[in-house]
Amino acid sequence: MIPVSSRPFARHAMAYVLAGGRGSRLMELTDVRAKPAVFFGGNSRIIDFALSNALNSGIRRIAVATQYKAHSLIRHMQRGWNFFRPERNESFDILPASQRISDGSWYLGTADAVYQNIDIIESHAPRFTVLLAGDHIYKMDYEPMLEQHVDDGADVTVGCIEVPRQEANGFGVVSINEGNKILSFEEKPTDPPAMPGKPAWSLASMGIYVFETAFLIEQLRQDSADPHSSHDFGKDVIPRLVKESKAVAHHFAGSCVRSSASAPPYWRDVGTVDTYFAANVDLTDVVPDLDLHDRNWPIWTYGEVTPPAKFVHDEDGRRGMAVSSLVSGGCIVSGASLRRSLLFTGVRVNSFAEIDHAVILPYVEIGRSARLKKVIVDRGVRIPEGLIVGEDPALDAHRFRRTNQDVCLITQLMINRLDT
C-alpha cells in the first residue's frame, strides 16, 4: 500500500495518450489529419482535452503515441505543448510508430502502442500510468481515479460512464457488483448488461485506465508474447485482467469537472460528422454543458498570435453582427450576419452573407451573399459568392457530404468540382 503521504498521486503518474485514431466516420475531416488533430470549439484540437485534463490534474509527465496521418497533430503539439521543463521533473514525449521493437512499421493495437515504448516509460519511472484516449471531449480530474485505484487495491481501474442501455452496444460495457468490482467486460455487446439497480442504463468504458506501472509492463509483455492476441486493451488486456486480477470501475460522475453544480457529466465521442457538429454548436448555448470559459480548468492549446475579431458595416441589410456565436481571433465579419455559429481563427465573412448553425474551421473565406445553414466548412475553403447550402436537400447531397441529420460537410475539393 502506498503511504497516504504520497498524495496527490498525480505527481507520481505519467499520462500516456493513445492518439493514433483514424477517425474514418468523420469522413473528409480526417482526410489529412488524425481524429485527435481535428479542430474543436473555436481554438482547440480534440487532443487538447485529454492533455489539459492531465495537466490540470497535476500530472507533469505526458507521452503521446501517434500513428495515422500524424503530421498535423505532431506540429500542433510541438507548437502548443512545448512548455514542459526537464529541470522541473516534467516531460512531454511524442511517440510515432518507428519500428523500435520489430520491423513492423505500425502499432498493432492500443496495447502494442504502449508496449513498444516500455523503455521510455521506465526511463521516467512513474509509479502510476494513466492511459487515455486522445479523441474524446470532456473535462476530468484524474486524481480521484488515482485515489480510488490505491484505496481499492486494484490492479486496473477503468473509467466508466453511464449510457442508456439501448445505446451501449457501441461501447465496451462492464458489469459490476455493488462494490464496483468489474465482473465482466464485453466489447460492443448485442445485449448490454444493466447497472445494478438501474435497468435502463449500462456502464460503458471511457477508454481510461489506471495501472501501477510495474504491473502494466508485466501485462504488456505477457500480451505481446500471446500469438492469439490482437494487442488491444479493450479486446484483450482488460477482459483478461477482469478474469484473472482485480479490475475496478471508476464512475466518471465522481471526477468530472462540471460547468455548474447542477450540470450533468459531459463526455462526447464526436466520432461522426453529426455528433461533431452538434457538440460544437452546443457551445453557443447561453450556458453550455461544456464550459470553455472556466479559468479554473482551462483547455490549453496552441495560441496563434492574431488581431482581435472585427465586425464592420452598420447599414440595413449589411450589418456585421453575431448572435449566440463564438468568434475567434483574426476573424472579420464584414457586413454579414451569424447565428448559432462558430468561427475558428482567421475566418473572413464578406458582405450580405448569412451564416446560421455553422462550424467554420480556420482561414475560410465566405464570399458575398452566400447563405450557409447547418454546415461544417473545412480549413482554408473559399466559399464562392452567392453559394446557397442548407435550403435544397437534393442539391446539397449532390454537391457536398450531407448526413442523415441534414448537416453538410464542405471541403475545397467539393467546391472545385462545382465548376466542372
Q: Which pLDDT belongs to residue 266?
A: 95
Distance from chain centroid for Cα 383: 28
Pairing of strands 310-312, 337-339: unpaired
Mean pLDDT across the stretch 103-115? 84
Question: Is 8 buried (19+), middle (13-18) or exposed (0-12) by CB count in 10 A?
Answer: middle
**354 to 338, 388, 392: CA distances (angstroms):** 6, 10, 16
Q: How many CA atoms within 13 Å lie on the side-chain side of 382?
A: 4
Residue 114 has pLDDT above 70, yes or no: yes
- The band of 288, judged by pLDDT with boundaries at 50, 70 and 90, is very high
* 297: number of Cβ within 10 Å: 17
217 Ramachandran zone, left/alpha/beta (phi>0; psi -120 to 50): alpha
Cβ 299 vs Cβ 44: under 8 Å: yes
User: Of 352, 345, 291, nearest to 360 (Cα)?
Assistant: 345
pLDDT, position 262: 87
Q: pLDDT tens-digit profile of 362-374?
A: 999 999 999 999 9
Q: Is it the case that residue 194 has pLDDT exceeding 60?
A: yes
Q: Is residue 420 predicted with pLDDT exceeding 70?
A: no
Q: What is the band of 192 on the pLDDT scale with cuts at 50, 70, 90?
A: very high
122-156 per-position pLDDT tens digit? 999 999 999 999 999 999 999 999 999 999 999 99
Span 308-352, pLDDT tens digits? 999 999 999 999 999 999 999 999 999 999 999 999 999 999 999
Q: What is the C-alpha to C-alpha distance for residues 63 and 58, in angstroms, rounded to an integer?
A: 15
pLDDT at position 2 is: 52
pLDDT (0 to 100) of residue 178: 87
**pLDDT (tens digit per residue) in 36-90:** 999 999 999 999 999 999 999 999 999 999 998 999 999 999 999 999 999 999 9
∠ Cα 35 217 96 (to 5°): 30
What's the average model confidence in pLDDT over 105-114?
A: 88
pLDDT for 10-49, tens place per residue? 999 999 999 988 889 999 999 999 999 999 999 999 999 9
- pLDDT tens-digit readout, 248-285: 999 999 999 998 888 899 999 999 999 999 999 999 99
pLDDT at position 21: 82
**Length of the chain in residues, anyone?**
420
More confident residue, 246 or 6: 246
Decide: 382 and 399 in contact? Cβ < 8 Å: no
Pair 165, 202: CB distance under 8 Å: yes
pLDDT score at 129: 98
Banded pLDDT at 101 (limits 50, 70, 90):
low
Question: Does the pLDDT of residue 301 top 70, yes or no?
Answer: yes
Decide if 373 contacts 407 (C-beta within 8 A): no
Give per-residue pLDDT as tens, 204-246: 999 999 999 999 999 999 999 999 999 999 999 999 999 999 9
Q: What percent of the chain has pLDDT over 70?
A: 97
Q: Are 310 and 335 in contact (CB under 8 A)?
A: no
pLDDT at 5: 58
What's the pLDDT score for residue 419? 77
pLDDT greater than 80 at residue 96: yes
Q: What is the DSSP string of 188-208?
A: S-SSPPPBTTBTTEEEEEEEE
User: Of 7-11, 105-109, 351-355, where does the model show the most confidence?
Assistant: 351-355
| Average pLDDT across the chain, whole number | 94
Which pLDDT does position 99 carry in this prediction?
A: 58
